[in-house]
Amino acid sequence: MQANIVLLPGDGVGPEVTAEAAGVLNVVAELGGHEFQLDSHPMGGNAIDDFQDPLPPATLTACKAADAVLLGAVGGPKWSDPTAELRPEQGLLDLRAEMGLFANLRPVPVFESLAPFAPLKPELLRGVDLLFVRELTGGIYFGPRQEQGDGDVAHDTLVYSTAEVERVARVALRAARGRRGKVASIDKANVLASMRLWRRSVTEVASAWPDVEVTHHLVDAFAMQLMRSPADYDVILAGNMFGDILSDEAAILAGSLGMLPSASLGSGRQGLYEPVHGSAPDIAGRGIANPIGAILSAAMLLRHSLDLSAEADRVEAAVAKVLDDGFRTADLAPDGQAAVSTTGMGQAIASRIGAA
Ligand code: NAD
C-alpha cells in the first residue's frame, strides 16, 4: 500500500526517538512491499525559534493531508515561561483540535522481562494488558471556567453531551472487539449529574454491542482496584480528567515512561501518534533515550491508520523479543549495568521485525 506519513520530531529527545520509529516504518515498508512517504515538518519549540509559530501553517496543511502523523515530543526549558505568548504545547492542542481528534488511546503493555522495574509484586503483573480510551476534547478541561472576586473563588465546569460520550464509547467498544471483549467504563455517577449522563450514554451505545461485556465503576474505587488486580481489566473507558489521572497511575506498571505509546483518533482513519513521555531535556542529545514508546506508537499507526494489523503485531513482537534478549536502554538498566543507546535499541528492534 501507499501511505503519506508526516513526522513531527519536535524538541529534546523527540528527534532521537522519532528517527528510530521512522527506521522501523521503513523496514516494515521494505518487507511488505509498501510505499511509505515520510516527510518531517517543524513543530513545537523549534518552530517557535524558526517561524515564530509552534504550529506553522505549512505543517498544519501537511498534517491534514497525511494518512497519519507521528510526533516525538515538544517543549523544554527554553520555551517554558508560563507568561510567554508562544508556547510549544499550544501547537499540540491546536493540532489535535484541527485534526478533530477526540479519543486518546493509551495502551499499557507489561513485558514480563520488565516486571522487576514496576513497583507492584511480579505476580500481580502477570497477564496485564490494558488499553485506556480517554475522551480528549470535552469534560472539565474544556468547560466554562471563571475566577470571581479577588481571585479567592474559582470554578471549572464538567460538561458532557450524549453525542460526545457516545462517539468515544464506540471507539472503546470497537477496540475491545479486537482484544478480550471487555470495557470498564469509569464515572462518578453517585455524585455528578454529568457522570450519570456518561453512564446512561455508555449503556445505551453498548446495547448494540452484545458481544462486548461492559461494566461500570466509580472512579475512586476503581483507582484502588487497578493496582490490586490490573490483570482483570481490558479496555478502560473514561472522560478527560479521570482518564488523564488513571492512565498516569497505570503507566508505572510498564516500568518506564519511555515504554508507553499513544494514539489520538477522530471519526476517520487519520490519527496522531506519539510516545507518552515529554521532551526529556535532562537526557536530550546524549543518545540514551528509550525509543520503545515511539516505536510502539508507530505500531499503533500501522494498525489504526493504515489497517496493517499483521505488521503492527510484528513490530510489537520484535519489541518483546528484544527485551527478552536482554537489550536495555539506560532507564531500564539501573546501577550502571550495560545499556544500549537509543540507536542500538532501535536497530535491534528493526532487525528482528522480519524474524518475529
Ligand atoms: P518528560 O516525560 O520529558 O520526562 C520525565 C522523566 O522521564 C525524565 O527524567 C526523563 O529523562 C524521563 N524520560 C522521558 N522520556 C524518556 C525516554 N524516552 N527514555 C528514557 N527516559 C525518559 O517530562 P517532563 O520532564 O515533565 O517534561 C519535559 C518537557 O516535555 C516539558 O517542556 C513538558 O512540557 C514537555 N512535555 C511534552 C509532552 C508532549 O510533547 N506530548 C508530554 C509531556 C511533557
pLDDT for position 336: 60
Residue 18: CB partners within 8 Å, gap ≥ 6? 7, 8, 9, 10, 70, 71, 72, 294
Ligand 1 center to residue 276 CA distance, Å? 8
CA gap 88, 96 in Å, rounded: 13
HSE (side-chain half, CA atoms, 13 Å) at 46: 17
CA distances from 57 to 70, 84, 344 (A): 17, 20, 35
Residue 325: CB partners within 8 Å, gap ≥ 6? 348
DSSP one-letter string for 149-160: TTTTEEEE----
Judge whether 121 counts as a catalytic residue.
Answer: no
Instruction: Write out the chain's pLDDT in tens, 356 residues.
Output: 999 999 999 999 999 999 999 999 999 999 999 999 999 999 999 999 999 999 999 999 999 999 999 999 999 999 998 788 999 999 998 999 899 999 999 999 898 888 877 889 989 999 999 999 999 999 998 889 887 777 789 999 999 999 999 999 999 999 999 899 999 999 999 999 999 999 999 999 999 999 999 999 999 999 999 999 999 999 999 999 999 999 999 998 998 999 999 999 999 999 999 999 999 999 999 999 999 999 999 999 999 999 999 999 999 999 999 999 999 999 998 776 779 999 999 999 999 997 75
Q: Which residues line ligand 1 (CB under 6 A)?
A: 13, 17, 73-76, 80, 89, 92, 257-258, 274, 277-283, 289-290, 293, 331
Which cell is 273 given? 501518534
Nearest Cα neighbor of 263 from 114, 23, 96 is: 96
Q: Residue 231: is it exposed, middle or buried by C-beta count within 10 angstroms (0-12/13-18/19+)?
A: middle
Write the DSSP symbol of residue 190.
T
pLDDT for position 119: 85
Residue 134: CB partners within 8 Å, gap ≥ 6? 103, 104, 105, 106, 238, 239, 240, 243, 244, 247
Number of H helices and E strands in the chain, helices first, is: 12, 12
pLDDT for position 115: 83
Task: For residue 217, give the 3-state DSSP assignment.
Answer: strand
CA gap 9, 289 in Å, rounded: 14
Looking at the DSSP bridge assignments, the partners of residue 213 are 182
pLDDT for position 356: 52
pLDDT for position 239: 98
Strands (E), 223-326: 235-238, 261-265, 271-275
One-letter amino acid for residue 115 of the chain: A
Judge whether 141 counts as a catalytic residue.
Answer: yes
Chain-centroid distance, C-alpha 19: 18
Q: Are 244 and 140 in contact (CB under 8 A)?
A: no
pTM (predicted TM-score): 0.94
Which cell is 208 given? 448494540
Residue of 11, 92, 274, 279 with the most ligand 1 atoms within 8 Å of its CB, for mutation:
279
CA gap 82, 21 in Å, rounded: 31
Chain-centroid distance, C-alpha 158: 23
Ligand 1 center to residue 262 CA distance, Å? 14
Judge whether 188 counts as a catalytic residue.
Answer: yes
Task: For residue 96, give the 3-state DSSP assignment.
Answer: helix
CA gap 27, 344 in Å, rounded: 15
pLDDT for position 180: 97
Ligand 1 center to residue 279 CA distance, Å? 5
Q: Considering only CA atoms, which residue is closest to atom 36 of ligand 1?
A: 278
pLDDT for position 334: 73
Pairing of strands 261-265, 35-40: unpaired
Ligand 1 center to residue 278 CA distance, Å? 3
Judge whether 331 counts as a catalytic residue.
Answer: no
Which cell is 31 given? 518487507
Task: For residue 59, give the 3-state DSSP assignment.
Answer: helix
- Ligand 1 atom with the shortest distance to the CA of 280: 3
Which cell is 20 given? 528510530
Q: Which of 50, 220, 324, 325 is catalytic?
A: 220
What's the CA dihedral at 225, 226, 232, 233 to 10 degrees?
A: 130
Kindly give the residue spans of alpha helices, DSSP state H, lying in 41-87. 45-51, 57-65
pLDDT digits (tens, 9 = 90+) for 44-73: 999 999 999 999 999 999 999 999 999 999
